[in-house]
Amino acid sequence: MPVIAPVPAARPARIPNQREGAEDGVAAGTTVDHLTETYRAHYRSLLGLAALLLDDTASCEDVVQEAFIRVHSARKRVRDPEKTLAYLRQTVVNLSRSALRRRILGLKLLSKPMPDMASAEEGAYDQLERDSLIKAMKNLQRRQREVLVLRYFADMTEAQVAETLGISLGSVKAYGSRGIAALRLAMEAPA
């Protein structure tokens, strides 16, 4: 993928407080001028390195810019100016890895939609239907409601319902058929 590098700005003015040599036995570190020259000379190659690790140009540019910002912030610790490019390369690799880790984590955390998930309209319609069924169930006789709940919601056989309620098998059948007929009428009636 082609990567277009921005045209660097004019050479920045020298920072007056920047130490040039080793005044107290400690090296001054990488200068802003050296970092600017490194930017001009190696920006495209660092973009190419990021492009090998990442998949889109915008992320590559972000990573390289962040690498320059971080090395600029720590330029006093880069004692040997010849190692500036090595520090930049390592920073680009580390930032690219971090970007990939964030992407992978984001993909893992995304909730995957259920394939047979109903639309919002269908869900609202189902809720209305459920509400009207519950209302119709409450209007049934107590025994009819008990038989229907045990038979269809608790998934018991007619014999199990008869045993649970202490009534005959014939009574379970009668209460069940009358309850279903009453529910059918209540559900078909306009609200």
Is CATH 1.20.1440.230 the right assignment for the domain spanning 122-190?
A: no
In the CATH scheme, what is the code of domain 29-110?
1.10.1740
Residue 181: per-residue pLDDT: 94
pLDDT-flagged residues of the chain (< 50):
1-2, 5, 7-27
Domain with CATH 1.10.1740 in the chain: 29-110
Residues in Cβ contact with 39 at an 8 Å cutoff, skipping those fewer than 6 apart: 8, 68
pTM for the model stands at 0.45
What angle, 0 to 180 degrees and rounded to 10, lies between the N-to-C axes of helices 32-53 and 57-73? 150
pLDDT for 34 equals 85
Question: Distance between CA atoms of 60 and 64, rounded to whole angstroms?
Answer: 6
Which residues of the chain are in CATH 1.10.10.10 domains? 122-190
Q: Alpha-carbon distance 175 to 170, whole Å? A: 9
Give me the pLDDT at residue 147, please: 92
Structure tokens at 127: 């809720």
